[in-house]
Amino acid sequence: MHNKTLSELSAALKAGEFSSTELTQSYLNRIAELDTHVNAYITVSDESALMAAKAADQKIAAGEAGPLTGIPLAQKDIFCSKGVKTSCGSKMLDSFVSPYNATVIEKFNQAGSVMLGKTNMDEFAMGSSNETSFYGAVKNPWNTDKVPGGSSGGSAAAVAARLAPASTGTDTGGSIRQPASLCGITGLKPTYGRVSRYGMIAFASSLDQAGPMTRTAEDAALMLNCMAGFDERDSTSAQREVPDYTANLSDSLDGLTIGLPKEYFGEGLDASVGKAVEEAIAEYKKLGATVKEISLPNTHLAVPTYYVVAPAECSSNLSRFDGVRFGYRCDDPIDLEDLYKRSRGEGFGSEVKRRIMIGTYALSAGYYDAYYIKAQQLRRLISDDFKRAFEEVDVIMGPTAPEPAFGLGEKSDDPITMYLSDIYTIAANLAGLPGMSVPAGFVNEMPVGLQIIGNYFDEARLLNVAHRYQQVTDWHQHAPAQFK
Amino acid sequence: MEWEVVIGLEIHAQLATKSKIFSGASTAYGAEPNTQACAVDLGLPGVLPVLNHEAVQMAIKFGLATNSHVAPRSIFARKNYFYPDLPKGYQISQMDLPIVGEGSLEIRLEDGTVKTIGITRAHLEEDAGKSLHEDFQGMTGIDLNRAGTPLLEIVSEPDMRSAKEAVAYMKKIHSIVTYIDICDGNMQEGSFRCDANVSVRPKGQQELGTRSELKNINSFRYVERAINLEVERQIEIIEDGGKVVQETRLYDVDKNETRSMRSKEEANDYRYFPDPDLLPVEIDEKTIDAVRKTLPELPDAKQKRFTSEFSLSDYDAEVLTSTRQMADYFEAVVKASGGEAKLSANWVSGALTGSLNKESIDIENSPVSAEMLGGMIKRIADNTISGKIAKQVFEAMWQGEGDADSVIESKGLKQVTDSGAIEKIVDEIIANNQGQVEQYRAGKEKVFGFFVGQVMKASQGKANPAQVNQMLKEKLKG
C-alpha cells in the first residue's frame, strides 16, 4: 500500500481494493513504528485522521470522490490547522492550537483528503538542514546520520520514508526543492502567488510559496490542482485561471530548449553531483530536447541579496510573537520590557534570533538604503537575468543543491556554509519563478536532485518536463532500504 | 523679545467605513471588548491583510475636497514597534508614497482675513487597540476592537502662527471630513483627534525652533489650551537661558499642563519598509472622476452661495455652514418659511443653537424640526405673531407641544391686528393714565415706552406692535 503513488491510491480506493480508513490506519501504523528513526512528524493526528478517512469512505461509497478523496497527506507544521497544534517548529508556538485553517488546509479538506499529521521543520522555516527545529533534527531516511535538508525536511523525509504518500512544503529560498533533492523525492515550488499564503505562518512574505512534495511529477500535478488558485484573503495571490496540471504531463519534449546556466556548474559544485545532472541532461537530449549554454551573470548576488531581504521581512513578521496574546510567555515577567525580552529570548532559537537581528539591522535608520534598498535593486537584476534567459530557452536546468545530504551537525556551527546549500535555489524565489527538484541519481548512496526552473506560471510545462524524465528513469522509484 | 509661534497639525480622522481597513470585522464603536476583532485584527500567525477599497475611495474624496494631489500609485509600509495593543508588532501605514499629496485650504482669522494653510500629505493607516489600565489591578487589559480601524492621517505644513489659527484649521478639516461624509467627526469617541507640533522662534528668524509634539488631543478647546501652555513653557525655557528639547508631550486635561512622554533619544526607530503582504494602490483618472461626481457642495462654496443667495453676512454664512447638518437644516428652514432667509438665519444661529447647546443635542436630533421652525417663521413674516410671541411659540414647540400653528391656536397667541380692538385698549390706557399723558405732551417723550408697555401688557403681548405704536402716536398728540 505504502509504495503506491497518489494516482494509484486514488484508483485503488475507488475500485474498493481497500478503504481510506484501512489506508490511513496503515500509514498511522508505519508512523508509530518507524518515525522514531526519522522524526518527521511533530504532531500525528490519529483521531481526526481516522474521522476524515471515515467521511472520505462515505464519499467514495456515494460515488462523490475526487482524485484526492481519502488520500492521507502530511502537512508541514507551518500551515495553520484548526484544532491542531501548529508549532512552526518553534518553542514559541509549542502551545499554539490554531483556531482557523490555512487556505491550503481548507482546500485539502474540501477535496476530502486525510491529514495524517504535521511535519517537522526548521524553526519558522529558517534553515537548510532541519536542525533548528525545537522538536529535534529530522534524519535523512537514506542515512539517518545525515540531514534531510530544510526547511521542509520533515515533509521530505515523511515521503521518502513512506510515512505519507505525499506532503506539503513551503519554499522561501529552496525549502521544498533542497530537501526534495537530499531525500530523493519530487518537489515543486510554484510561481510566487500561485498558491495562497493565507494561514501559512510567514517567514519572508515576498518569497514564501507553498507547494507539493511527492514521489512523482504526476502526483505533484494532482496536488497542485488542489492547492493553486486565487484567494481573496491573500492580496498577493494571482488572479489567474488554474489549468489542469495533469492534462499535458505526457506531451512530447521534441523541440524543448533547455538552458544550462554556466554559473550553476562552476566552483562549489560537487563533481559527482555535476555528473548526475549531466547524465540527466543527456536523457533529455534523447527525449528530443536541445541544450543551450546560458548565463545568469548575477547569480553570485543571490545569496547575499536573499540574506538581506528574507531577514528584513522576518524581523517584522515575527514581531507578533511577543508573549502577549498567544504562544510562549516567560514566567513571572516583572514589567512589559521584561515580558518581551524574556518571552522572545526564551521562545526563539538561535538561528531565528540571528535572522531577526540581521533584518532589524538592515532596516534600521541609516542602514536601510545601503542594505534593504540595495537588495531590492539587486533583486531586480537577478529577475532580469531570468527574463533574458527565458527569451531564448523554455526551461533552465541545473543541480538543486551543490552536494548530497551532509552529516548531522556538520554545518550547524557555520551559518555561512549552511547558507550556501541554497545557492542554486534562492534566485528562483527572488525572481518569483517556479522551480522543481526531481530525483536524478545517487552519489555515495545518497540521492541527488535535478533542478528545473520555468517561466512565470509555467508549472504545467515543468511538470510535463519532469514527468517525461520519470517515464524513462527510475530514480524516483527507489526507496531507502530501512523504509521499503 | 518678540516670539513667533509655529504650529503644524497631524489630524487623525477615523474613516466611516463599515468594516476595518484590512479585515472584515465591524468598526462600530462601544462593543464589548474584543468582540469585534477577527483573526486578522488579532494578528494571529498566518493571517494576511486585505485592503478595504471603501477606505481608498474616502481618501480620494478627501484629496479632491482639499485640492490635493491624489497619487496614481501609493504604497503601504510597516511601522515597526512593540506595544501590547499593537497586535502584529507593526502598524500598517504609508510612508514614502502616501495616497494624498500636497494640497491646501483656507481659514478665516478673527479679524476676518483669510489665510491659506498648506496640507503636506494625507495617508491611510490602521488604528491600534486600546490598553485599559483602570479595570484590572496590577494588570493591563487589551481591547482590540479598535485595532484595524481605518484612519486618514492629515499632515499640515507648519503654517499656523497661533493656537487660534490651529483651532480654525482643525475646525475646517473637521467640517470638510464631515461634509464629504468620510468621518463622523465624533471627538469624544476619538474619531477625530490631533497631534500638534509646536515650536517658537524670535520674530524674524527664518530657522525653525526645536519642536515638541503634543499627542492625541481630542477637543478644539484642549488644542487651544495645550498649545498656549506649550508656547508659554517653551518661551520661559528659552528666556531662562535653557534649550527646548525635542520630545513628545502629553496634555493632561485635569491638571491643565503638558508633560513629557518620551524624548528624541528614547524615540523608536520604526524601521519602515514596504509591506510585502499588500499590493501598491493604483488609482486611475477614471476612478478619480467617478469619486469627484460623488462630492457634495463643500463648506467654502456653500458659504459663498449663502452670502449671495440669501444675502447673509460672511459671519452668518460661516456659522450656518460650519456643519453640513446645520447648513442643510438652515436651508430647509428657509424653504419652509417661504424664503425668509434673514429671519431663518437669526433663529437657527440664535434660539435654536442656544437650546441645542444647552441640552447638548445634535441639530439632526433637534426636537424642533426645520419644517416646524420654518412654519413658525412664516407666521412671523405674515404678522400672525410678533417676534416676541414667537419665543413663546418656539419654547412650546421645543417642549413637544406641536407645530407653530397648533401652538398659536391652542394658546391663543395670534396677534391682534384688528384696529378696533387695539383702539379700545389704547383709549382705555390713555384714559387711565392722564398724568403720563400730560408729561408726554409736555415733551417728555420717554414716557411713550410706558404706554407701549401698558398696551402690550393689556393685550397679553398679542397686539401688533407696529399698529400699537402708530395708534398711540396719533392719540397722544391730542
pLDDT at B463: 85
The verdict on B406 and B425 lying in the same domain is no
pLDDT at B268: 81
- Please tell me the total number of residues recorded for chain A in this structure: 484
Band the pLDDT of B476: cuts 50, 70, 90: confident
A155 is a catalytic site residue: no
Q: Which domain holds residue B320?
A: 297-411
Report the relative pairing of strands B192-202 and B73-74 from DSSP bridges: unpaired
Task: Give the number of A-B residue pairs with CB atoms closer than 8 Å.
Answer: 101
- Do A66 and A198 contact (CB within 8 A), yes or no? no
The verdict on B154 and B206 lying in the same domain is yes
Band the pLDDT of B111: cuts 50, 70, 90: confident
- In a 13 Å sphere around the CA of B400, the CA atoms on its Cβ side amount to 0
- Say if the Cβ atoms of A372 and B273 lie within 8 Å: yes
Last residue of a domain, one of B290, B319, B350: B290
Q: Name the residue type at position B226.
A: A
Average pLDDT over residues B438-466: 87
Band the pLDDT of B386: cuts 50, 70, 90: confident
Nearest chain B alpha carbon to A79:
B46
Predicted confidence (pLDDT) at residue A428 exceeds the cutoff of 90:
yes
Residue recorded with cell 469512505 = A57
* Chain A residues inside the 8 Å CB shell of B49: 235
Predicted confidence (pLDDT) at residue B445 exceeds the cutoff of 90:
no
Question: Distance between CA A97 and CA A94 in Å, rounded?
Answer: 9
> Residues 361 to 420 of A: which have CB under 8 A from any B CB?
363-365, 368, 372
Share of chain B above pLDDT 70, in %: 100
Question: Distance between CA A88 and CA A151 in Å, rounded?
Answer: 10
Pull the grid cell for residue A179: 530537501
The verdict on B241 and B348 lying in the same domain is no
Question: What Rg, from alpha-carbon coordinates, does chain B have?
Answer: 29
A151 is a catalytic site residue: yes
The verdict on B353 and B215 lying in the same domain is no
pLDDT at B133: 83
H or E segment at A438? strand A435-443
Last residue of a domain, one of B290, B316, B341: B290
Last residue of a domain, one of B273, B290, B307: B290
Predicted confidence (pLDDT) at residue B241 exceeds the cutoff of 90:
yes
- Do B36 and B163 contact (CB within 8 A), yes or no? no
Edge-first strand listing for the sheet containing B114-126: B103-108, B114-126, B150-156, B3-14, B192-202, B212-217, B247-252, B257-263
pTM: 0.91
pLDDT at A414: 86
- Give the torsion sign (CA, A382, A383, A388, A390): positive
Report chain A's terminal Cα–Cα distance, integer Å.
11
Average pLDDT over residues A394-414: 95
**Among A76, A91, A139, A146, which one carries the catalytic annotation?**
A76
pLDDT at A398: 98
- Do B94 and B77 contact (CB within 8 A), yes or no? yes
Q: Which SS3 state, helix, strand or coil, does residue A445 take?
A: coil
Nearest chain B alpha carbon to A324:
B84
pLDDT at B355: 95
Query: Which segment of A378-392, B10-24, B218-232, B430-444 scores lowest on mean pLDDT?
Result: B430-444
- Say if the Cβ atoms of A326 and B45 lie within 8 Å: yes
- Do B249 and B212 contact (CB within 8 A), yes or no? yes
* Chain B residues inside the 8 Å CB shell of A360: 271
The verdict on B146 and B265 lying in the same domain is yes
Give B325-375 pLDDT, tens digit per residue. 999 999 999 999 999 999 999 999 999 999 999 999 999 999 999 999 999
Average pLDDT, chain A: 97
Band the pLDDT of B473: cuts 50, 70, 90: confident
Q: Which string of DSSP letters, residue by residue, matches A2-16?
A: TT--HHHHHHHHHHT
Predicted confidence (pLDDT) at residue B414 exceeds the cutoff of 90:
no
The verdict on B77 and B188 lying in the same domain is yes
Band the pLDDT of A332: cuts 50, 70, 90: very high
Q: Which residues contact A161 (CB under 8 A, 6 or more apart)?
A: A34, A35, A37, A38, A40, A141, A480, A482, A483
- Say if the Cβ atoms of A364 and B39 lie within 8 Å: no
Question: Distance between CA B37 and CA B47 in Å, rounded?
Answer: 13
A76 is a catalytic site residue: yes
Predicted confidence (pLDDT) at residue B263 exceeds the cutoff of 80:
no
- Comparing CB atoms, the residue among A79, A93, A319 nearest residue B88 is A319
- Say if the Cβ atoms of A340 and B82 lie within 8 Å: yes
The verdict on B303 and B451 lying in the same domain is no
Strands (E) in B65-209, as ranges, are: 73-74, 77-80, 90-93, 103-108, 114-126, 130-132, 141-143, 150-156, 192-202
The verdict on B361 and B304 lying in the same domain is yes
Question: Distance between CA B408 and CA B398 in Å, rounded?
Answer: 14
Band the pLDDT of A419: cuts 50, 70, 90: confident
Question: What Rg, from alpha-carbon coordinates, does chain A have?
Answer: 21
- Say if the Cβ atoms of B39 and A100 lie within 8 Å: yes
pLDDT at B384: 87
Predicted confidence (pLDDT) at residue A143 exceeds the cutoff of 80:
yes
When scoring B23, B41, B42, B44 by the number of chain A Cβ atoms within 10 A, the one with the most, hence best to mutate, is: B44
The verdict on B249 and B368 lying in the same domain is no
- Do A120 and A87 contact (CB within 8 A), yes or no? no
Pull the grid cell for residue A341: 525580552
- Do B102 and B117 contact (CB within 8 A), yes or no? no
Contact residues of B toward A, CB < 8 A: 39, 42-51, 78, 80, 82, 84, 87-90, 142, 269, 271-273, 276-279
Band the pLDDT of B154: cuts 50, 70, 90: very high
Q: Which string of DSSP letters, residue by residue, matches A316-328?
A: HHGGG-SSSSSS-
pLDDT at B337: 95
Predicted confidence (pLDDT) at residue B254 exceeds the cutoff of 80:
yes
Band the pLDDT of B395: cuts 50, 70, 90: very high
The verdict on B151 and B71 lying in the same domain is yes
- Comparing CB atoms, the residue among A88, A236, A360 nearest residue B271 is A360
When scoring B277, B278, B279, B282 by the number of chain A Cβ atoms within 10 A, the one with the most, hence best to mutate, is: B277
Predicted confidence (pLDDT) at residue A183 exceeds the cutoff of 80:
yes
Single out the residue of A403, A390, A381 nearest to residue A453, CA to CA. Answer: A390
pLDDT at A279: 98
- Do A165 and A176 contact (CB within 8 A), yes or no? no
Distances (CA, A) of A83 to A48, B22, B42: 10, 25, 17
The verdict on B191 and B137 lying in the same domain is yes
- Do A104 and A111 contact (CB within 8 A), yes or no? no
Give A27-36 pLDDT, tens digit per residue. 999 999 999 9
Number of domains in chain B: 3
Average pLDDT over residues A256-273: 95
Predicted confidence (pLDDT) at residue B60 exceeds the cutoff of 80:
yes
Question: Distance between CA A326 and CA A336 in Å, rounded?
Answer: 15
Pull the grid cell for residue B139: 494588570
The verdict on B387 and B406 lying in the same domain is yes
Single out the residue of A452, A439, A173 nearest to residue A303, CA to CA. Answer: A173
Pull the grid cell for residue A15: 475500485
Domains located in chain A, CATH noted: 6-256+393-483 (3.90.1300.10)
**Among A151, A152, A315, A437, which one carries the catalytic annotation?**
A151
- Say if the Cβ atoms of B89 and A316 lie within 8 Å: yes
Neighbours of A438 (CB within 10 A): 31
Give A197-256 pLDDT, tens digit per residue. 999 999 999 999 999 999 999 999 999 999 999 999 999 999 999 999 999 999 999 999
Question: Distance between CA A97 and CA A81 in Å, rounded?
Answer: 8
CATH number at residue B454: 1.10.10.410
Predicted confidence (pLDDT) at residue A318 exceeds the cutoff of 90:
yes
Give A13-67 pLDDT, tens digit per residue. 999 999 999 999 999 999 999 999 999 999 999 999 999 999 999 999 999 999 9
